Amino acid sequence: GAGVSQSPSNKVTEKGKDVELRCDPISGHTALYWYRQSLGQGLEFLIYFQGNSAPDKSGLPSDRFSAERTGGSVSTLTIQRTQQEDSAVYLCASSFFLRARTNTGELFFGEGSRLTVL
């Protein structure tokens, strides 16, 4: 499809297990973001990839969280030793590079991966 694709759409796991969430951005988009939305909360920034630059990891809540982006395209968010407070919808978004003069900076979001940690 032409949009941002995320998988799995739903994941239920037991506390202490590791999970991997995948994001396929829109082809040609150089920027990729991960956000999460906990129940009743806003969009919490996690990590931002822009081209070949070092990612902005300032939003990752702990060292149990990591993300990589291979070949400037697909990204995987990994949560190790999951905790109940990790339960949330994890949203991926992509966009063109913000410095382009004609770029509105619009982010295109996937439908999210709902993570439930029991």
The answer to whether residues 11 and 19 touch, using CB atoms and an 8 Å cutoff, is yes
As measured in angstroms, the least distance from the Cβ of 37 to another protein is 9
Which H or E element spans position 34? Answer: strand 31-37
DSSP string, 90-117: EEEEEE--TTSTT-----EE---EEEEE
Minimum Å distance from CB 85 to another protein? Answer: 18
- CB closer to another protein, 12 vs 15: 12
Q: For 73, which DSSP code?
A: S
Query: Toward another protein, which CB reaches closer, 86 or 110?
Result: 110
Q: Which residues bind another protein (CB under 8 A)?
A: 4, 33, 35, 41-43, 45, 48, 50, 56, 58-59, 91, 93, 97-99, 104-112
63/106 with CB nearer another protein: 106
